[in-house]
Amino acid sequence: MYGDLDRPPLRADALNHALAPDGFRVEVLEETSSTNAVVAERARAGEPHGLVVVAEQQTAGRGRLDRSWVSPRRAGLTFSVLVRPSGPVHWVPLLGGVGVATALREHVGVEAELKWPNDVLVGGKKVAGLLAEAVDGAVVLGIGINVTTKADELPVPEATSLALEGATTTDRDTVLRSVLRGISDALGDDARSSYRELCSTLGRQVRVDLPGGESVSGTAEAVDDEGRLVVDGRAYAAGDVVHLR
């Protein structure tokens, strides 16, 4: 039994019944260290495209740049999707972001947008993040979405949740179904133009903190065909972007 009536558990049987026609196979774990680690192991063993592993709680969840992803039990969605892409691997995380943002806009009632490369923002605050890892020709796409997380449960002031942003639904089954279908559509359509339309980084003054410790500032002019952010004529494949006022 679970004690928090506002945060019911996910129902694997119902999710599989709904999502099997879309090519997904959903497994729900009560707790694991990292859904990305679980799916990566399955990918190495030859698991086909479409596996989804969801954890009601992660004990060692990770975001980009080795940051931790912290969420109370059943307050959000933490899951990983096994993708065996037919197109460019480097676009998978960006198109995954398109799928998440589009689903939240169309089915959850929040004005989601993207911050390069694949943070999902609502009202300028982070509501979801994606972490992609290449594994033997496949991509493990890890996603964390704050759903019913309260203000005092958020790890940083720059974060938010669907509930705090006035979402029309915070039913996690509904959100997960919508997001997975959105990702499938974005990957299938190769929605690079949609990425650029949703990316609020473009046209802004930004600071890019690069992996080696260097920082550069300038105008975010474009996302090129390799998925890199072009700032003042120079393309960057990786980095942490800060939107400057």
12-198 domain in CATH 3.40.80.10?
Answer: no
Bridge pairing between strands 25-29 and 119-122: unpaired
Residue 164's SS3 state is coil
Residues 6+ positions from 19 with CB-CB distance below 8 Å: 26, 52, 177, 180, 181
| pLDDT tens digit at each of 245 positions of the chain | 455 678 999 999 999 999 999 999 999 999 999 999 999 999 999 999 999 999 999 987 555 545 555 679 999 999 999 999 988 899 999 999 999 999 999 999 999 999 999 999 999 999 999 999 999 999 999 999 999 999 999 999 999 999 999 999 999 999 999 999 999 999 998 889 999 999 999 999 999 999 999 999 999 999 999 999 999 999 999 999 999 97
CA distance 3 to 1: 7
Q: pTM here?
A: 0.94
pLDDT value at position 176?
98
Taking every pair of Cα atoms in the chain, the longest distance, rounded to a whole number of angstroms, is 57
Contact in structure between 77 and 130 (CB atoms under 8 Å): no
Q: What residue spans define the domains of the chain?
A: 12-198, 205-243
pLDDT value at position 65?
47
Amino acid identity for residue 64 in this structure: R
